[in-house]
Chains A and B, each alone.
Chain A
Amino acid sequence: MNTIMTGGFAEPAIQSARTFRALLEAMARPGRIGTVGGAEPPAPLSVAAGVVLLVLTDPTTPLHLAGDADCAAVRSWIAFHTGAPLVAAEEAQFALGTWNALQPVTRFLIGEPAWPDRSATLIVETDRLEPRGARLTGPGIGTEARLTLPETAAFRLNRAQFPLGFDTILTCGDRLAALPRSTRVEDN
């Protein structure tokens, strides 16, 4: 019971602001890795995934938990700290899990042609988050950026639907990076 109520922000307004700023920089500069902190979500969630939930989700944002993230401890922690309703993948505004657990990613909301903002944001837990690997180009990137991605094919398909598509936040420990739908992803 105690672990449900602990692990949130001690100073929600200030810590949310700092975390959001890191998120804003990450989403504005795809591939840029930022460091966040201030919350201790229950296992298996990473610190970064936990603070992203605290900053962005609330009772108005349907959330999907995939794979190991869908456990009693996490569900209770989310219910206490954010109140986000847990839903199926097809209805989710946010989805949280490892890349494998989130498959197939084609089931997530990609928005409507007139309302591309009505799309899902995937919070992908990764073991590795480093500035190397897949080549990223597009808005927010000067020449190119590199980022370790779980795969590239799915992100290329996602980019092909632009301006529709889901947006991705990659989390690893206390670090995060983002891959908005606008980013072109190449293997080499």
Chain B
Amino acid sequence: MTGPSMPLAAVDPVAQGDHRLKEPPGPPPQQKGHRTQHDEADGGEDQKAGEGVGGRGHSVTRVMSDYNFAYLDEQTKRMIRRALLKALAVPGYQVPFASREMPMPYGWGTGGVQVTAACLVPEDRLKVIDQGADDTTNAVSIRRFFERTAGVATTGHTEAATLIQTRHRIPETPLTEGQILVYQVPIPEPLRFLEPRETETRKMHELEEYGLMYVKLYEDIARHGEIATAYAYPVKVAGRYVMDPSPIPKFDNPKLGGCAAIQLFGAGREARIYALPPWTEVVSLDFEDHPFVASKADHSCALCGAGNSYLDEVITDDRGSRMFVCSDTDFCAGRQAAGKAGSEGPKEGA
């Protein structure tokens, strides 16, 4: 049961065997701002009752040795790795890959998880965010999945992470060289809602025929007076392929280009991988008289006072009260720790 891939294996191998695929669906979402290093001790507690392993307060997640490092077998990883290299060589082009079934439902990040599994090394420090938060169910589940199958360290701090898997946000803190950002992508084809046939959209990419996308944006303007697309806002990569940046808010679009980190996109159900090498030119589609605007809620964060971060609207009672808080929990917690406070203060919500 012991193997080279279990640097954190501080527990009874008998207990480990029992945990295979019997994990509960994840703990309930923790409070915002809760740090992640020590919030996994409850996982599997119910299953090891009486085994005397770890005990309460044991803070190291069990590493499973029943699987290959990072869950996927080597043949699968080679296939994904070849696709990743081709994706980097042709930025924005969607490379087909033989997506595997993962132990989570489609829509929960099976594409991102496969890309992460193919990229992880034991020395990595992994951060997983879901809509900017480190502490929601999807993020907690995926983070724990890799703690257990790869034995990698995890973190909630953007600066400390070497690999960040994200669902629908780019962290506020600028990414640096040496970091990899892995996006979970539901629909990789930006033209899919305009043209449902794969044969046609493939031809459109081949001919660089993106008029349909401009018609869509134009119709937005005709109907609403502005480009109403607020998320999954299409971009053109390195002057060639139109790409879906995954459903990130268009507020995040300017961070796609000129980014020092490697950005990888995985769509599990649709079996596509695409990529943005660092410093790639990424242009949000727009018109000369209707330029792209990276919009956000016109407020500042109620908790940390940030006026330049993307905000979530939180309903606080049934009489219409609400507050706006940073979507990026690490960014917000960092500012609060540095003494920054919002106008309303953190006492809201009564």
Closest-CB distance, A35 to chain B (whole angstroms)? 14
Whether A11 lies near B4 (C-beta < 8 A) is yes
Given contacts A12-B74, A18-B121, A56-B78, contact A139 B91 (CB under 8 A): yes
How long is the Cα–Cα vector from A141 to B91 in the complex, in angstroms? Answer: 13
Q: Which residue, A23, A27, A114, has most C-beta atoms of chain B within 10 A?
A: A27
**Binary A-proximity of B84-96 (CB < 8 A = 1, otherwise 0):** 1111111101011
B82, CB-defined interface residue at 8 Å: yes
A16, CB-defined interface residue at 8 Å: yes
How long is the Cα–Cα vector from A55 to B279 in the complex, in angstroms? Answer: 26
Specify which of A18, A21, A29, A180 is in contact with B89 (CB 8 Å cutoff).
A180
**In this complex, what residue of A is CB-closest to B123?**
A18
Neighbouring B residues of A20 by C-beta, 8 Å: 77, 81, 118-119
At the interface with chain B, which of A42-50, A68-76, A115-123, A148-156?
A: A115-123
Neighbouring B residues of A163 by C-beta, 8 Å: 90, 93, 240-241
Binding site for B on A (CB under 8 A): 11-14, 16-18, 20-21, 23-25, 27-29, 55-58, 60-61, 113-114, 116-117, 119, 121, 138-142, 162-163, 167, 180-182
How long is the Cα–Cα vector from A116 to B118 in the complex, in angstroms? Answer: 22
Please provide the chain B residues from 157 to 195 with a CB less than 8 Å away from any CB of chain A in the complex.
Answer: 180
Whether B82 lies near A61 (C-beta < 8 A) is yes
Neighbouring B residues of A25 by C-beta, 8 Å: 262
Interface of chain B, helix or strand or loop or mixed? mixed
Neighbouring B residues of A56 by C-beta, 8 Å: 78, 81-82, 85
Count contacts between A and B, CB distance < 8 Å.
Answer: 112
Whether A140 lies near B90 (C-beta < 8 A) is no
Whether A139 lies near B279 (C-beta < 8 A) is yes
Specify which of A11, A24, A55, A142 is in contact with B88 (CB 8 Å cutoff).
A24
Whether B81 lies near A55 (C-beta < 8 A) is yes
Closest-CB distance, B71 to chain A (whole angstroms)? 10
**Binary A-proximity of B290-321 (CB < 8 A = 1, otherwise 0):** 00000000000000000000000000000000
Neighbouring B residues of A29 by C-beta, 8 Å: 277-278
Whether A117 lies near B262 (C-beta < 8 A) is no
Whether A139 lies near B281 (C-beta < 8 A) is yes
Whether A14 lies near B5 (C-beta < 8 A) is yes
How long is the Cα–Cα vector from A29 to B280 in the complex, in angstroms? Answer: 10
**In this complex, what residue of B is CB-closest to A13?**
B69
Whether B277 lies near A23 (C-beta < 8 A) is no
Whether B70 lies near A17 (C-beta < 8 A) is yes
Given contacts A12-B74, A28-B262, contact A182 B91 (CB under 8 A): yes
Whether B278 lies near A162 (C-beta < 8 A) is no
Whether B278 lies near A142 (C-beta < 8 A) is yes
Whether B74 lies near A13 (C-beta < 8 A) is yes
Specify which of A116, A138, A167, A182 is in contact with B85 (CB 8 Å cutoff).
A167
15 examples of A-B residue contacts, CB within 8 angstroms = A13-B68, A14-B69, A16-B77, A16-B78, A17-B77, A17-B119, A27-B85, A61-B82, A116-B93, A117-B96, A119-B86, A121-B85, A162-B240, A163-B240, A182-B238
Closest-CB distance, B197 to chain A (whole angstroms)? 13
